[in-house]
Homo-oligomer: A and B are copies of this chain.
Amino acid sequence: MKVAELISVGTELLLGDILNSNAQYLSKQLASLGIACYYQSTVGDNPDRLQKVIELAASRANLLIFTGGLGPTPDDLTTETIAQTFSTPLVEDAAVVADIAAKFATRGRQMTDNNLKQALRPEGADILPNPVGTAPGMIWSPKPDVVLMTFPGVPTEMKRMWQDTAVPYLRSRQWATEVIASRTLRFWGVSESALAEKVGDLFDSTNPTVAPYANWGEVKLRIAAKAGTEAEALATIAPLEEHLRSIGGIDCYGADDDTLASVVGQLLARQGETISVAESCTGGGLGAMLTAVSGSSGYFLGGVIAYDNWIKQALLGVDAEVLASHGAVSAAVAQQMAEGVRDRTGSTWGLSITGVAGPEGGTAEKPVGLVYVGVAGPQVALGVPYRFGDRGREWVRQVSACSALDQLRRRLIARLGACS
């Protein structure tokens, strides 16, 4: 098995000005290709220190992957330092000069001598083309069984070059022998620990692996399998996915790129039904989630942001007496908001949220994090309480909107079951 080593170059990394997301991306990529990685280093734009890092890496790894230090300014030194480390002269690549000149011409700007610096490569090195920016990288074997590749630090450029050129190169040379495929199952309405108990010893499985993740109220299970081909890997995943879905039941709302909003949208579209929203503490966040889905105009009509109590009365017809006796944060008001928006828009379903997002406004009886979701639809009109706790305004608002979508999702599924 070949062993890779990552070398991230840039003083801005050492100063913490930049988060090194490139290292994570490349680590994941290497793991998915079946290439080991034992060490990763970060070093500044300093030729002496960079050279020491290169020498050490070339003594213990087969594939050295550099990011950063390919720019046009004098402090970008990666190419020069690599050439110097292996005592190889730099040559100007005519094709790269022409390419950079063309890119500048397209943008109507003047190429400078600094830019010509980006056309230099050690003698014998191949260019690793950059279809997105001006700085190409290189692929070079300076000594037997050692290959090095350089990439710009800009993540979009690095990723494109990695996928377009580096991965095919590694596969063609049999350095990359494996494929990792994965599926992420998404759950709402169950805690990570409760789900973990149900899933039990599947977390000990080695191929496929199952790993839990949780954030902002959502729990995810990532199933990953390693195999010689993607089809084989996916075939290993399928029975485990089915098993986990049956364990998760209705709490499992989807997989991979699904969102609660997209799943609710699919359920509505399948029945030819529509939805409108009435929002207080989320202030439009529920509508924004629903309309983040491309094509949502097929089932989402609109709604009312009823932040002020007077708007709840004027635009949604909430009863002033109910507001006064139950308070704006109550099951009765949530229900009337949902009914009101459904009536006024003519939608199949009205979905509402009213709650205390905090940090101000909580009382002993109605603390921060108390939220009511209202649902109005065929044969149903009610308000459901949730207690999310005082975990920050942003958190309460986000989890409220997701919980409203999940509330409707469960009802839509139950109704589909009853109808079928």
Contact = CB atoms under 8 A, between A and B. Distances in A.
Contacts of A416: none
Contact of A42 (B23, B301, B310): B23
A344 B359 CA distance: 29
Contacts of A297: 307-308
A2 interface: no
Interface of A is mostly: mixed
A20 B13 CA distance: 12
A344 B314 contact: yes
B44 A38 contact: yes
B308 A302 contact: yes
Nearest to A295: B360
A394 B259 CA distance: 15
B360 A294 contact: yes
A203 interface: no
Nearest to A398: B288
Interface in A152-179: none
Interface string A298-312: 001111111110110
B21 A19 contact: yes
A362 interface: no
A305 B37 CA distance: 51
A225 interface: no
A314 B24 contact: no
A87 B31 CA distance: 34
A39 interface: yes
A394 B49 contact: no
B294 A284 contact: no
Interface string A28-42: 111100000111111
Given A284-B279, A344-B315, A394-B292, A37 B14 contact: yes
A315 B304 contact: yes
A53 interface: yes
Contact of A303 (B18, B301, B304): B304
Interface string A330-358: 00000000000000111000000000001
Contacts of A295: 360
Contact of A300 (B56, B296, B304, B307): B307
Contact of A302 (B43, B296, B307): B307
A301 B307 contact: yes
Copies, count: 2
A193 to B, nearest CB: 11
A20 B16 contact: no
Given A277-B284, A284-B305, A38 B29 contact: no
A43 to B, nearest CB: 6
A290 B301 contact: no
A40 B276 CA distance: 52
B302 A291 contact: no
Contacts of A189: none
A290 B314 CA distance: 21
A297 B306 CA distance: 11
A287 interface: yes
Interface string A182-222: 00000000000000000000000000000100000000000
Nearest to A290: B283
Contacts of A30: 16
A46 B288 CA distance: 46
Given A16-B29, A26-B16, A344-B314, A305 B283 contact: no
27 contacts: A14-B38, A15-B31, A16-B30, A17-B28, A18-B24, A19-B21, A20-B24, A38-B49, A39-B41, A39-B49, A39-B53, A40-B41, A40-B42, A276-B311, A281-B291, A282-B291, A284-B284, A284-B288, A287-B307, A291-B397, A297-B308, A301-B310, A302-B304, A303-B305, A304-B304, A308-B345, A311-B345
The 3 closest A-B pairs by CB, nearest first: A283-B291, A284-B287, A284-B284
